[in-house]
Amino acid sequence: MTAMGGVLDLRSTPPWERHGVVLSAFSDLRDHDTLQVIYEYDPLPLRRRFEDTHAQRYLWLQRRLGSEHWEVSVRKLPASANGSIADFMNRCPLFAAANESTRSTLALAAQPRSVPRKTIIAEQEAGWPFLGVVRKGKVFAIVGTPAGREQILFEALETDVFGVILDGGSTFSRFATLSDAADILLFPKPFVLQLAEADPRFALALAASVSQQMRTIVDLVHAHVSKKTIARVASTLVPYAPSESGLAPVDPVHLPSLRLTQIAAATGSVKEVVARAVAELEAARAIRRVRGRIAYIDRSKITSFAL
């Protein structure tokens, strides 16, 4: 590890040791240095640890580059507590890649919104004139059928973008909150396109965000045609599995995401079918429920079911 950061390939490191290794390495960084971390699964628990321990002091750029290959670049940011839109944008990978003029112009154009829980931000097949960024909470992209069946395509967490519809077409899904409220920023689409034409790095960052969301959607399609329901349910649970060995408690922040209705939407199934898969996973001690909710997950066992 050098003063400028370094690369940590943790794919051969036991999961219960990883958080300590990454947090220690990050603490040794100087402001503006970057640490690159390589995982074989979505490092959602690690991202949550950074939110708890280094709130507003890091920039998180996560990329899924292939099967069992995730890379995260974590940049250490100087302390700042002014709470401005410009300060928040400095923590967003999309805007951090842009030049100063682009960021300043977008900050002035940003439209803050507070969205209650279970609220639709934009309907499916709508002419939505914005690019959205999550400032707090989660926003979900959900596609529905005339019969009422739903599929969660992806979820956008804090500093993530959503609604990147830049080809002039309508939205391919609806964008909505579910269990929790969210604060978002909306940027007028014509403004975004104009700035992207003038700022190639900003344009490339936009393209990268679209590519990452497309990888997630393609993975869902692949799972539908190649995996049984129990494997799709297990795959949905893997990102929420604690790093500790054996059955370990799920972070309470994630418990709303583990309700049967939300798991059903994430797997493109129905609640009754998901309930049977969850019961089978519990019988195998891959999970444990408390008062009907999944409260404990064994990362090793749930991963074996997801394959």
Angle between helices 15-27 and 44-53 (to 10 degrees): 40
Q: How would CATH label the architecture of 227-306?
A: Orthogonal Bundle (1.10)
Q: What pLDDT does residue 293 have? A: 87
Q: What pLDDT does residue 83 have? A: 80
**pLDDT, mean of residues 137-141:** 95
Q: Give the pLDDT band (50/70/90) at residue 5.
A: low
Q: State phi, psi for 64 to the nearest 5 degrees.
A: -95, 115
For the chain, percent of residues with pLDDT exceeding 90 = 74
* pLDDT, tens digit (0-9, with 9 covering 90-100), for 47-103: 988 988 898 889 999 999 988 899 999 999 988 767 889 999 989 999 988 999 999
Q: Is the pLDDT of residue 3 over 50?
A: no
- CA atoms of 232 and 306, how far apart (whole Å): 7
Q: Where in the chain are the domains?
A: 5-76, 85-224, 227-306
Q: What pLDDT does residue 81 have? A: 63
Q: How many CB atoms lie within 10 A of CB 253?
A: 12
The topology (CATH level 3) of 85-224 is Jelly Rolls (2.60.120)
Residue 158 CB partners (closer than 8 Å, separation 6+): 51, 134, 135, 136, 137
The CATH number of 5-76 is which of 3.90.1300.10, 3.40.50.720, 3.40.50.1240, 3.30.110.40?
3.30.110.40
Q: Is the pLDDT of residue 239 over 60?
A: yes
What kind and span of H or E run contains 60?
Answer: strand 58-66
Q: Is the pLDDT of residue 123 over 50?
A: yes
Q: Which of 76-80, 172-176, 282-286 is least confident?
A: 76-80
Residue 167 or residue 118, greater confidence: 118
